[in-house]
Homo-oligomer: A and B are copies of this chain.
Amino acid sequence: MPRKMKVNREDLPEIVLDVAGRFAAREGLRGVAMRRIAQEVGVVPGSIYNVVGDIDEIVLRLNARTLRRLQEHLRRAADPQGKAAANTLAFAEAYLDFVAANPRLWGVILEHTMPGGEPIPGWYAAELDQTTGLVDRVLEPLFPDEAERTRTVTALWAALHGLASLATSGKLSVLNDDDPRDLARLMVTRFLKLDDPAA
């Protein structure tokens, strides 16, 4: 064995993600750099390569963790006894809350693309599915037809996604002074064909 690392080998992945997450939360994708992470952890870059992977792997793992945390946040916002429409609205607001609370961390999900145009890894796609699956289950009573429900979920998801994207990148306030949460409410009511509560 070589001389011991400053941290346990099995703890390294999580520690690396913690550090990467702190940089990402403060400075976005630009702040997430292999050498910086290694220095902060107290380890040499090569060690991170051995145990975790390259910089894209780190960013992808970090994004998966962010998605998992969003899922927890959404789960806490839903009321298992509540009505579907109310839960959908609660989801939409919880989603925007989460993004507003972690704008840069969320931004990394939007900024990052696969190197060389490779497809998304299966385990990452699964994490996306998990997230939309939550919305899907909430919408189930409203759209019994599965095909239509999937279409609606995807469209609603994409719409909220775009709203969050514009809001975090500061490109929304340019266009509109409204609270993004109001716009999210508008989206949900329109997609679910509800009556507008207050136009």
Contact = CB atoms under 8 A, between A and B. Distances in A.
Given A30-B115, A165-B110, A190-B190, A151 B174 contact: no
Given A148-B199, A176-B151, A183-B158, A169 B28 contact: no
Contact of A171 (B30, B128, B191, B199): B128
21 contacts: A29-B113, A110-B110, A110-B165, A119-B170, A125-B174, A129-B174, A129-B175, A148-B199, A151-B176, A151-B182, A151-B183, A154-B178, A157-B166, A158-B183, A159-B159, A161-B162, A161-B166, A162-B162, A162-B163, A165-B165, A190-B193
A102 interface: no
A85 interface: no
A63 to B, nearest CB: 11
Contacts of A175: 128-129, 132, 150, 153-154, 157
B150 A176 contact: yes
A142 B13 CA distance: 54
Interface residues of A, number: 51
Nearest to A107: B113
A99 interface: no
A43 to B, nearest CB: 26
A12 interface: no
Nearest to A115: B30
Nearest to A104: B117
